[in-house]
Amino acid sequence: VYERATVDGDDFQTAWTGGGQIVFQLLTIVAFVTYDTVLTAKNGQTVGKRLMKLRVAMLNDGSTPPMSQSLLRAVVLWLPALICCACLWPLLLLVLILVDKPYKQGLHDKAAKTVVVTVPQ
């Protein structure tokens, strides 16, 4: 009986920990997507882009992306990395950016029809 209680206890702990990880992962996805979406729609810059003197612009006219395009860009950028491929997804994006001509767009920029540009001094 004691042995069975230990197994059941382990199963309960494993189930609870797994559920906690899922909740944490969902909250992380929501936080990253919200952060990226709101700041990109506000002025085309996250904190990192501001420090690097870069901004996201619409490919067709250079304007700041609207909320819908910022959301699409953020979802394509963050969702795969946080769900399944934390190491491979950013590497794939980097390779695609390096080989893309002429705008050096990642899949997230292609999906949202945006491009990252340098901010004039």
Summarised one tens digit per residue, pLDDT across range 15-26 is 556 677 888 888
Q: Where are the alpha helices (DSSP H) in 44-119?
A: 47-51, 67-83, 88-99, 107-112
pLDDT at 29: 87
At position 97, the amino acid (one-letter code) is: I
pTM over 0.85: no
Give 115's DSSP letter.
E
Determine contact, residues 104/97, Cβ cutoff 8 Å: yes
Is the model's pLDDT at 13 over the cut of 80? no
